Amino acid sequence: MLDGQILLDLPPTAIPRMYRLGMDPTRIEVIFLTHMHADHTFGLPFLLLEYCVRRLRSEPLTIVGPVGIREHTFEMCDLAWPQLRNNGFGPKVPLRFVEIPEDGSYRANGVAFEAVRMEHFTLDAFGYRLGYKGRKIAYTGDTGASAPLDRLLSGADVALIELTHAHASDDPGHMDLPAFSALAEELLRKGTRVIATHMGT
């Protein structure tokens, strides 16, 4: 979360964590979703329900993600709350979608960013590099070591890198500790601040 306004992925546990940290979910302006796995998107139905019940809002919410994210959003809502949309009880906040078809430069709600396709099994998955308050912030989402990952992180002031495995792993879709450590060491030498996310056991 950047300044309470830009959210990078939205896991199912995000809403209670926001409240524990004293954050107001209605301040969120843009959500960047890297790919359509549950641990990165299933918080969205809960957030939209908050906007219907406890934290009413009329300001638009922008959702960025791979092509199909609009359809996926409403499918998640229907799965989480069956029949509610048919009865007129659904996301009332105006939703704007920015669907990313390929690598390139984009804008969402005034935020300039670059999308780089990451290697995460056979899914459409993107990492994002945002220009924010004069700094370049790179967020990988889930991926293993690869040339696209290196390109995403090149020149970043802050790098948020997923770290799933605490030991060496042959999982091609996630980073393990040896690969993360080597990458972090190189980035730190270049002056990049490195933050691990998605940490497993």
Q: State the pTM of this model.
A: 0.93
Per-residue pLDDT tens digits for 122-141:
999 999 999 999 999 999 99
Q: Count Cβ atoms below 10 Å from residue 21 Cβ, excluding itself.
A: 9
Asked whether the beta carbons of 84 and 120 are under 8 A apart, the reply is: no
CA–CA dist 119, 180 (Å, integer): 15
Structure token pair of residue 4? 């309470």
Return the bridge partners of 124, or none: none
Taken in order of first residue, the domains within the chain and their CATH numbers are 1-101 (3.60.15.10), 102-201 (3.60.15.10)
CA–CA dist 113, 52 (Å, integer): 30
Write out the catalytic residue numbers: 39
Structure token pair of residue 158? 């802050």
The reported pLDDT for the residue numbered 201 is 43
Which of 43-57, 130-144, 187-201 has the highest mean predicted lDDT (pLDDT)?
130-144
